[in-house]
Amino acid sequence: MRVIIRNLGVLESAEYELGDLTVVCGKNNTGKTLAAYTLYGFLDYWRNQYDFQLGTALIKEINHKRELRIVQQQFQKLLSKNLELAYKKYVTEYLPDVLGSSSERLTDGQFRFDIRWMIKQSLLLKEKTIHWISSNCGWCAVQTDNEGKSVQIIQEEEPVPQEKLSDSVQSLVTLVSPEIIPCAAVTSADRIGAAMFSDEIYHLRNKLNKQQQYSFLQSIHYPLPVRKTLHTIHYSVPKLPPEKTELQILFKKLLDGNFEFCCRKLQFAPLRTENPPITLNETSSSVRSLFPFWLQLYCDTELRETPVNMFMIDEPEMNLHPENQRILARLFVRLVNLGYKIYITTHSDYIVKEMNTLIMLYCCNKNNRRIMKRYGYTEEELLNPEKIRVYMTQQVNAPKTKTGTKIENETKIKIETKIETETDREAEQISVDSGVPKYIFVQAKIDELGISLPVFDDTINEMNTIQDEILAGGER
């Protein structure tokens, strides 16, 4: 699936393909979090807010027939039409709430998916049924056949209300489309504060609600991913498997302890100590940073009928030692190999280098077994480079200098950026006036040696050069 974002905040254009593992890197304030929040917001809007439209002609046909079969091609057109409607409503009505911004700042913004090729290839899920029953209005079933090639709508003689029928079809779409449109859970970079103060925030909101101080409440407007992180921490209940899984063992190593429930209260039991478990507020910042992701992974989290199959994490390396950042990278790859999708924004060269190691172990067979055994790697942690997509933010116009001197290539610069697509179209040329910095997404090169990321490598090389010159007595 290809995501297209244009004219949104500092982003001139972010056009990128979602991989099983998607990594976005770049300098501060270049649009990484903005792109992640915008994508998550639409995924949430599509599944929880958008009202699916069946169309007048289809509604009339349904009302005149107790049984109606919609073939796959018709269903694809219905899905495509609703996505087009959803894009427009999302940007104009819902995106300001997602970003915690005003609609005036987003007037020229655009968001959409390029999934036409995927819709054509996708079959409906086999033998899936959505029932809707009412004592007043009758009974309805929306189901796919045993080959997954058509949708059948069956109802009693009494027609089902249009809004309920639309909701039934939309519920089926959530079952049909997770491979096309992921069902995502998000962890924002504000998670440490959320873990510390979620109870106080909800207590304050409830208190103000009772006092009807709505003007104050409306002034506290967090971006949607921040609110979702707060909600996860405050309301989620883990559903742990009876036996320890490999993921739990990895998390235990990552946390250097275990989360436990005692008297319906969450506690943390550190390893290598005989002291009793402690509260979340007493834990280290690294434990609080990982806590929301742990909750999402081990909670019975569902959006309608569709389980979460994608985790989006803003700066997962926060408060983690480099060793733990490496373990987290291996955890992400394990999840990818289990069928989940992972989307992260990161400043961590350790995470990227560990992913490089996992790619190299996958691609290079010579002596790998001995190396894997020596350093504790397993088959489940090897990363197929075809599963990962890495992007860097890149400035498309040079900022003005303080002295007002000429900018390279006079007052206008041109940046040629190759955007690799399924059709391998030719490189686009972006020409913009100098002024306020704007950014695009550029895909990083990935081969059997791993990921090439100048955004990190240039900084590391410069630091090495400086140190070499210091040791050489200032001579170059």
- Averaged in consecutive runs of 10 residues, what is the pLDDT profile of the chain (476 residues)? 92 94 95 96 90 77 70 78 92 92 84 78 62 56 71 66 66 65 90 75 64 53 87 75 74 87 78 82 88 83 63 94 94 94 96 95 82 91 95 77 39 37 39 68 92 86 90 76
CB-based contact 314:347 (threshold 8 Å): no
CB-based contact 224:98 (threshold 8 Å): yes
pTM: 0.82
Pairing of strands 184-187, 310-314: parallel
Strands (E) located in 263-386? 265-270, 302-303, 306-307, 310-314, 341-346
Q: Which two tokens stand for residue 48?
A: 């929880």
Residue 42 CB burial class (10 angstroms; 0-12, 13-18, ≥19): buried
Q: According to the model, what pLDDT value does residue 306 have?
A: 61
CB-based contact 176:125 (threshold 8 Å): yes
Q: According to the model, what pLDDT value does residue 205 have?
A: 65
Strands (E) located in 162-293? 184-187, 257-262, 265-270
For 416: left if phi > 0, alpha if psi spans -120 to 50, otherwise beta; the answer is beta
Pairing of strands 110-114, 439-443: unpaired
CA-to-CA distance for 363 and 446, rounded, in angstroms? Answer: 12
Q: According to the model, what pLDDT value does residue 416 have?
A: 37
Q: According to the model, what pLDDT value does residue 207 have?
A: 65
Sequence-separated (6 or more) residues with CB below 8 Å from residue 367: none
Residue 193 CB burial class (10 angstroms; 0-12, 13-18, ≥19): middle
